Amino acid sequence: MTFNAAALLLLIAGLALIGWLAGRARSNLLAGRAGAKLHSRPQYHGWYVALWLFAPAALFLAVWASVSPALITNQVLTTEAAENLPEFGFERGAILSDARNVAQGRQADVRLPAAAPLVKPYADASHQYAWIGIAAMLALALAGGLYAFTRIRPDFRARSRVEKIVMMLLLLASLVAILTTFGIVLSLLFESIRFFRLVSPAELLFGTHWAPTSGAPQPDTFGGIPLFWGTVLIGAVIAMIVAIPIGMMTAVYLTQYAAPAVRKWVKPCLEILAGVPTVVYGYFAALTVAPALREFAVMLGIPNASTESALAAGIVMGVMIIPFVSSMADDSINAVPQAMRDGSLALGATPNETIRQVLIPAALPGVMGGILLAVSRAIGETMIVVMAAGLSANMTANPFASVTTVTAQIVKLLTGDQEFDSAKTLAAFALGLVLFIVTLLLNIAALRIVKKYREAYE
Amino acid sequence: MNMTQEDLTITDPKMKAHGVNVFYGEKQAINDVSIDVGTDLVTAFIGPSGCGKSTFLRSLNRMNDTVASAKVTGRIELDGEDIYAPSMDVVQLRARVGMVFQKPNPFPKSIYDNVGYGPRIHGLAPNKADLDVIVERALVRAGLWDEVKDRLQESGTALSGGQQQRLCIARAIAVDPEVILMDEPCSALDPIATAKIEELIHELRGKYAIVIVTHNMQQAARVSQRTAFFHLGTLVEYGKTTDIFTNPRQERTKDYITGRYG
């Protein structure tokens, strides 16, 4: 007997269905007997019973499924058979999981001889905890169901109770995304702390030489400045030089000049541009733009021209960001009240003067917010730089040279055979943390600016 | 239309409209309106909501051009010149026929730049000193100078509603227009601010031809010398303000000014 969560979930779902039918029938019956009018329709009484039956039991099931393996292992460790286990580490874990797999029927026989004596204690413990879990779950389901069932009366406000329970369920659902993000940040934080025990944060943030090697960390090999410089050069400088003017002009054209028919076609096309997978942009950058730029650079006689250039990655990234900038600018310009535009036109300003001197200054805070969001997207972008910007950590202002970025290095550090606890691998988490903090700050700043600006016109 | 010639004692009209129709798409908002606007007079357009008075006002400086579906037929003249003729420069037209809107709409710029905006784009001020003079004169005329002279660099949007509306009037005056159109300029203001604007209209009379759209019949009676009553897109009656309010010729006008509907 093992604990099968999916089957149990099905079981309580079945019980809930019975509860629903019973609740509905009982409300009808009581109403008929008392000759009174039901406050809520019979379905709501059914739902009330079903939800009370299902929700606590399902919640318990989720908790139990994640807690019980640890409880089982603890119990096994208290038996005599576990006394000979190695104290710590990988071997101990392997023996325990080997025994567990056999005991729970996932593999036919033990692979490690040391695991054999543990199989029986494991099977016993699993069995025992499975029964405890099932019994507790059924008890909860029945208790919940009975509680709800006994509260059914013709004047019972099942309808508003169901409303409340549904609201709680929705709240739980919305918490899932937030809690998951929180968990990801925590794991990032813990791995980063492990890295910072090996290498000082100051070296990562201010060091200028980046050449991580496997094994024990060498001094002066984890300097992040070249990566940060490459990230800024590609994401915040070159990409923005492309995206800001083109995005702004697109937005001005679409909001001020384009006929409704044109707008109807151009806007969805831009949105499609935003939906192109970044790996496709990566191909385009690596196979088309980069070689062309290199030939151009060679023609001009620029030294160090590489087929993996910052310029190629930056330009293509800029193109990728255009819809982002233009849609934010579009929203901001549209949010400027029509009265402002009319006021300028009524003074005899041309549409062009109106846009340059009234609309864009008025929309600027919103546009700035949009640009900050775009920068934060650009510096977190990975595929294009992996494919087109290269991996050599150069500190150069020459846009035709190869540079690397934080994201490209994270990919490089985590791919291939690596020990998981070496400084080289852990560096990826520390870089990820830096990137996360920077983009978080950019996003907060952007959202604050946008919000403040929105309030000004309401 | 039973208007006889002696009703229109306007010898020197600044603007003449003849047989004007305005359409929004299929819908006709203004139907065959003919009216003369006197040079030295304040002309009030009154009528219930949706009667087309604002629409007609906006066709006098071609602000309806900004609405894609709007179409104007008929003839509107400024000093005898057809303003809808292809040769008419709409930008110049709007400099000559200024407009003040229902809600104060100062630009999010300093008070100085709000007033200086028009003169700058029209090149009226070759240098800073000239612009200073123009800005001061416009603010003085709009009765705002004493209140703002020490804080010209503050944002125009920080002023009170009434001050903002006078700033908008100053902004219109600064480009030295010949006609000022006011579209319910007091509807967003409190009574004290309203009184100030009305006083200002009195002072501006004679310097500019003024056309004011208003919901408030007392206001029309107080500030105007000519009143036009619009109803359902047509001009019902046009004449001296005193005649319209004391001795209307049309039954509909009488019903409206006595508050029977509106």
- Domain boundaries, given as residue ranges, for chain A: 5-195, 225-456
Residue A14's pLDDT is 93
Rounded to the nearest 5 degrees, what angle is found at the Cα of B21, between the Cα atoms of B17 and B22?
115
Alpha helices in B81-177 (DSSP H): 90-96, 111-121, 128-141, 145-148, 161-174
Residues of B in contact with A456 (CB under 8 A): 108
Beta carbons of B173 and B98 less than 8 angstroms apart: yes
Beta carbons of A358 and A341 less than 8 angstroms apart: yes
Average pLDDT score over chain A: 86
- Rounded to the nearest angstrom, the minimum Cα separation between A450 and chain B is 16
Report the residue of chain B nearest A337, measured CA to CA: B105
Residue A454's pLDDT is 66
Copy the structure tokens of residue A107: 């593999």
Task: For residue B182, give the amino acid letter.
Answer: M
Q: Compute φ and ψ for B21, nearest 5 degrees.
A: -120, 140
Beta carbons of B94 and B64 less than 8 angstroms apart: no
Pairing of strands B13-24, B27-38: antiparallel
- Rounded to the nearest angstrom, the minimum Cα separation between B92 and chain A is 6
CB-closest option in B63, B91, B122 to A342: B63
Residues of A in contact with B106 (CB under 8 A): 343
pLDDT band at A381 (very low <50, low <70, confident <90, very high): confident
Q: Please answer yes or no on whether A340 and B61 come within 8 Å at the CB atom.
A: no
Residue A88's pLDDT is 63
Helix (H) or strand (E) holding A271: helix A260-275
CB-closest option in A259, A345, A361 to B66: A345
Residue A205 or A418, more confident: A205
Beta carbons of B104 and B188 less than 8 angstroms apart: yes
**Cα–Cα distance for residue pair B229/B33, rounded to 1 Å:** 11
Torsion sign across C-alpha atoms A333, A338, A340, A341: positive
**Cα–Cα distance for residue pair A345/A327, rounded to 1 Å:** 25
Give contacts of B 173-212 with A, CB under 8 A.
Answer: 175
- Rounded to the nearest angstrom, the minimum Cα separation between B103 and chain A is 8
**Cα–Cα distance for residue pair A19/A12, rounded to 1 Å:** 10
CB-closest option in A259, A341, A357 to B117: A357
- B35, β-bridge pairs: B17
Residue B3's pLDDT is 45
Beta carbons of B175 and B124 less than 8 angstroms apart: yes
Task: For residue A290, give the amino acid letter.
Answer: A
Partner A contacted by B246 (CB < 8 A): no
| Strand, helix or coil for residue A150 | helix
Indicate the class that CATH gives domain B38-62+90-229+237-257.
Answer: alpha beta
Partner A contacted by B222 (CB < 8 A): no
**Cα–Cα distance for residue pair B121/B202, rounded to 1 Å:** 29
Kindly report the three-state secondary structure assignment for every residue of B170-226: HHHHHCCCCEEEEECCCCCCCHHHHHHHHHHHHHHECCEEEEEECCCHHHHHHHCCE
Q: Please answer yes or no on whether B93 and A348 come within 8 Å at the CB atom.
A: yes
Give chain A's length: 458
Q: Pick from A152, A148, A131: which is nearest to A2 by CA?
A: A131
Partner A contacted by B105 (CB < 8 A): yes
Task: For residue B82, give the amino acid letter.
Answer: D
CB-closest option in B98, B107, B109 to A346: B98
Cβ neighbours of residue A143 under 8 Å, at least 6 residues apart?
A56
pLDDT at A452 > cutoff 80? no
| Strand, helix or coil for residue B22 | strand
Q: Which residue ranges in chain B fall short of pLDDT 50?
A: 1-7
Residue B159's pLDDT is 92
**Cα–Cα distance for residue pair B179/B100, rounded to 1 Å:** 11
CB-closest option in B94, B109, B175 to A345: B94
Pairing of strands B179-183, B209-213: parallel
- Rounded to the nearest angstrom, the minimum Cα separation between B253 and chain A is 31
Task: For residue A133, give the amino acid letter.
Answer: G
Q: Please answer yes or no on whether B121 and A358 come within 8 Å at the CB atom.
A: no
Report the residue of chain A nearest B120, measured CA to CA: A349
Span A207-217, pLDDT tens digits: 888 888 777 77
CA distances to A153, A241, A275, B48 from A270, in Å: 58, 19, 9, 45
Q: Please answer yes or no on whether B63 and A345 come within 8 Å at the CB atom.
A: yes
Task: For residue B98, give the amino acid letter.
Answer: G
Residue B174's pLDDT is 94
Q: Please answer yes or no on whether A358 and B171 come within 8 Å at the CB atom.
A: no
CB-closest option in B66, B92, B107 to A348: B92
Residue B19's pLDDT is 93
Span A152-208, pLDDT tens digits: 888 888 888 889 988 998 998 899 889 998 999 999 999 899 889 888 888 888 888
Pairing of strands B42-46, B209-213: parallel
To the nearest 10 degrees (0 to 180), the angle between helices A158-198 and A423-456 is 130
End-to-end CA distance of chain B: 21
Q: Please answer yes or no on whether B101 and A342 come within 8 Å at the CB atom.
A: yes
Give chain B's length: 262
Residues of A in contact with B168 (CB under 8 A): 343
Span A109-120, pLDDT tens digits: 777 777 778 888
Q: Please answer yes or no on whether A347 and B93 come within 8 Å at the CB atom.
A: no
Partner A contacted by B60 (CB < 8 A): no
To the nearest 10 degrees (0 to 180), the angle between helices A406-414 and A360-380 is 20
CA distances to B106, B115, B154, B174, B215 from A449, in Å: 22, 28, 21, 34, 39
**Cα–Cα distance for residue pair B140/B151, rounded to 1 Å:** 14
**Cα–Cα distance for residue pair A253/A262, rounded to 1 Å:** 10
User: b vs e for A308-343, b when ≥16 Cβ sit within 10 Å of the residue's Cβ?
Assistant: bbbbbbbbbbbbbbbbbbbbbbbbbbebbeebbbbb
User: b vs e for A275-289, b when ≥16 Cβ sit within 10 Å of the residue's Cβ?
Assistant: eeebeebbebbbeeb
Cβ neighbours of residue A110 under 8 Å, at least 6 residues apart?
A98, A99, A102, A116, A119
Report the residue of chain A nearest B100, measured CA to CA: A343
Residue B6's pLDDT is 44
A417 CB burial (10 A radius; 0-12, 13-18, 19+)? exposed
Residue B175's pLDDT is 93
**Cα–Cα distance for residue pair B147/B167, rounded to 1 Å:** 11
> Choosing among A255, A333, A347, which should be mutated to test the B contact, i.e. which has the most B CBs within 10 A?
A347
DSSP label at residue A210: B
User: What are the residue boundaries of the structural domains of chain B, listed by start?
Assistant: 38-62+90-229+237-257
- Number of CB pairs, chain A paired with chain B, less than 8 A apart: 68
- Rounded to the nearest angstrom, the minimum Cα separation between A365 and chain B is 12
Q: So what's the ipTM on this one?
A: 0.88
Residues of B in contact with A353 (CB under 8 A): 121
pLDDT at A418 > cutoff 70? no
Copy the structure tokens of residue A296: 């151009």
- Rounded to the nearest angstrom, the minimum Cα separation between B162 and chain A is 17
Q: Please answer yes or no on whether A362 and B108 come within 8 Å at the CB atom.
A: yes
Span B129-179, pLDDT tens digits: 999 999 999 999 898 999 999 999 999 988 999 999 999 999 999 999 999
Copy the structure tokens of residue A35: 């000759």
Among A231-240, A313-322, B6-15, B38-47, the least confident range: B6-15
Residues of B in contact with A335 (CB under 8 A): none
- Rounded to the nearest angstrom, the minimum Cα separation between B84 and chain A is 15
Q: Please answer yes or no on whether B171 and A343 come within 8 Å at the CB atom.
A: yes
Q: Pick from B257, B230, B248, B258: which is nearest to B34 by CA?
A: B230
Taking residues A429-457, report their average pLDDT.
85
Residue A403 or B116, more confident: B116
Alpha helices in A276-405 (DSSP H): 278-283, 290-300, 310-335, 338-346, 351-354, 360-380, 383-388
Helix (H) or strand (E) holding A447: helix A423-456
Beta carbons of B179 and B60 less than 8 angstroms apart: yes
CATH number, span A225-456: 1.10.3720.10
